[in-house]
Amino acid sequence: MEKTPMEVFQAFGEGLMSGTDSWKEVVADNVTFTGPVDQTKGLDAFAKLNESFMPMMKGNEMKQVVEAGNFVITQLLMDIEMPNGKELKLDMTEWYEINNGKIQSIKVYYAAEEFRKEISINK
């Protein structure tokens, strides 16, 4: 039996937090990621993006999560520690499009001005 979009989303999150590659099992090979700072297409490019971002993530607080059709929509507060040690709180909304038991696309929205500034300082 195929997993619901919420079950796919939960497996993705658990896989990311586990530090293993198990999250890749629920992500389509041609996944697209669109955010205010980066855009990628394909599982390999998305994995590379995650490898650079995940070490900066120090915690998150899920405010809301909703399943609507084949979408899972979240609102969360994410605690980020930049390479220079500065901490940021990102109020983020994510849209996961899920078909056939796989995440097809992820769109992330947040006010990125301070994050972009810190990234450019650290390059």
> CATH number of the domain that 92 lies in?
3.10.450.50
Q: Does 32 fall in a domain?
A: yes
Question: With b meaning 16 or more CB within 10 Å and e meaning fewer, what string describes 53-80?
Answer: eeebeeebeeeebebeeeebebebebeb
Task: For residue 43, give its domain range.
Answer: 5-11+27-121
Q: Number of C-alpha atoms within 13 angstroms, CB side, residue 96? A: 26
**Tell me, what's the pLDDT at 94?**
97
Q: Does 16 fall in a domain?
A: no
CB 12, CB 23: distance < 8 Å: yes
As for how many domains the chain has, the answer is 1
Predicted TM-score of the model (pTM): 0.90
Q: Does 91 fall in a domain?
A: yes
Q: Does 38 fall in a domain?
A: yes
Q: Over 80: is that where the pLDDT of 116 sits?
A: no
Token representation of residue 110: 């947040």
**Tell me, what's the pLDDT at 115?**
77
Q: Does 69 fall in a domain?
A: yes
Q: Over 60: is that where the pLDDT of 65 sits?
A: yes
